[in-house]
Structure formats: structure tokens, C-alpha cells
Copies of this chain bind each other. A is one copy, B any other.
Amino acid sequence: MASDVRLKEQLPRLTDRIVASYTPDDGINHLGHCPLPSYEAIVEILLDIKDVLYPGYRRKIGLHAGNIVYHVGSIIDSLHDKLTTQIARALRHEDRVRNNHNDCESETDYEAKGQAMAIELLERIPDLRMTLATDVQAAYDGDPACQTTDEVVFCYPGIEAITVYRIAHELVRLSVPFIPRMMTEWAHKQTGIDIHPGATIGKYFFIDHGTGVVIGETCEIGAHVKLYQGVTLGALSFKTDDDGSLIRGQKRHPTIEDNVVVYANATILGGKTVIGRDSVIGSSVWVTKSVSPRTTVLLEKPELKVRGAAGEPPQVEAGSYQI
């Protein structure tokens, strides 16, 4: 029992059929173009940066005052080269798309531009560390199941997602195209938390559990904000007078002021929606209007249909149904 050689002889013809389907306007091939940024290289860059942000946790053990300069120096040198190459590719790709040409040649020295942006990103690492230290502290302060800040750095998916977001957001601020989304989509894959790199988020930010969280591109989030799993900060994409056409580039996502807590699976929608400072949005609440400061919004006693076995007494605990 073996495979049929005659069938296998179809493969060259089949290959030709497949290659014939690669047409310039099929929209899903990238043949004959300048290379896009490499996915693998971007992941390596993120792992390298994380190693510098949080030294001694994961990749390399036994780091101490006597050897840390060599370790960091070596990573920074390598990061400089990788970032320069990948940012140059992203810039050249954007040039091609914007100017609708297929040529890898250009008047612009994208390697030089990429290098300047790479170094600028690296220069921001000490500030990034200060901000991320506030996020780690917020996680420790906000989760009664947490024992040490080491645990937060080591295995909290919220910190993983926020770390990658903060790196990617710096690249957005430096006007690096394409790569920020690659970074946050990698974090989304790792954590189930989808933060658009264009969002702005203050210090002491904590996301607990996190699976299913979506934070849209034009969100503005203050300091000391805490979100739980399944929270959507999204767009009101349809309106009463909706004509079906997409509006790009305006504020479509909500503003969350300082010290707000949003519990699991709550949904807050709309670019004009502002959740005022010190407010609490309860679990599963759905909000599309602004809420003033120091307000608690909860689900009212839900309308439930409760049905017991035949002949049995009422079933839900006595007392008002509220949290």
C-alpha cells in the first residue's frame, strides 16, 4: 500500500494553477515588493526590550551589579540593529502604499530615518520603566490573590499586554507605521487582551484576568484605572441616521477619567462618552452616555425567570437582589 505515482504527477500542473492565481490585483500576495517587517524579528525585539525593562526575571538568571552592564549593552547593540532594519522596512512599505509605486528604491534614506527612530525608542526605556513600575504596583495593590510584585512581572497577562502596548505606543508617537499593530496583535494572541497602540493610557493601569478586553484606537484613559476581563471600550458604529459609510480618524472610543474601575464584561461605547473620575461601572453594565464623577452604575435587579422543580417553594435567596 503506497501512494499512487500517477497522482503525484499532477503536482507540477497544480503548482502552475496556484501560481497563476497570484495576480497583481488579487490583494493577498506580496510578490516582487520590498520586504515587509519580519514577524519573527518583531517578536524578538519585544522579548529583547522586555528583558531590558525587567532584568533578571526570565531569560537570563544570575544577573547582578557586576555583569549587568555587559548584558544590557549587548542587548541594546543588537536591538539597535534589528529596530533600524525593521523600521526602515515599515517606512519603505508605507511610502510604497501612500505613493502607489512598486519600487524599492526611493530618494529617502529610510535606514537613516529608521536608525534615528530606533535610538529614540531606546532612549525612552528608562521612562518606560518608571511608568511600568506604576502598573506593576497597581496590579499588586488591586488583586487580593497576589502575593508579590515578582508574581505580577512574572506571570500576569495584564502586565504582558500593557508592557507591549506601552512599547508600541511610543512607536506610534514616533510615527513608525505598521510595527505597532504587529506588536499589539502579538500581545493579543498571548493574552486575549486587544489594546490598540493608538490609545492613550495613564499610569497605574491594571487589567485583571483580561481575556476579551478590547480598547479602541481613540480611547483616552486616565491614571489609576482598573479593568476586568471582557471589558469593551469601543465605538458606537451605528446610529439612527446611519448611512452605512465608515468614518475614519475621528474620536470613536470613550474617555475614562482617573480612578475609575470597570468590572467584568461591561461595555462602554462612543467617542463622546466620558466616565467621570472616581466612578465605578458594574459588571455586565452597558453604557453609551457620559457618567459624572464619583458615580456608581450597576445593573438594576435583573429581570430573571426563575423556575423550580414541581411543587417546590420559591428559589432565589430572600432579600433585595442587589450587589
Contact = CB atoms under 8 A, between A and B. Distances in A.
Contacts of A133: 26-28
Interface in A1-23: 1-4, 7-8, 10-12, 14-22
Nearest to A52: B18
A101 interface: no
A296 B306 contact: yes
A91 interface: no
B308 A294 contact: yes
Query: How many chain copies?
Result: 3
A284 to B, nearest CB: 5
Contact of A194 (B10, B28, B211): B211
Interface residues of A, number: 164
Interface string A155-178: 111000000000000000000011
A200 interface: no
Nearest to A286: B284
Contacts of A286: 283-284, 299, 302
B295 A306 contact: yes
A289 B306 CA distance: 13
A156 B178 CA distance: 12
A267 B323 CA distance: 13
Contact of A308 (B284, B292, B303): B292
A16 to B, nearest CB: 7
A323 B288 contact: yes
A192 B178 contact: no
A265 B232 contact: yes
Interface string A112-138: 101110010011011001101100110
A123 B11 CA distance: 9
A119 B18 CA distance: 13
Nearest to A304: B297
Contacts of A181: 151, 155
8 tightest A-B CB contacts, nearest first: A30-B56, A300-B303, A295-B315, A35-B61, A294-B309, A32-B64, A155-B185, A290-B317
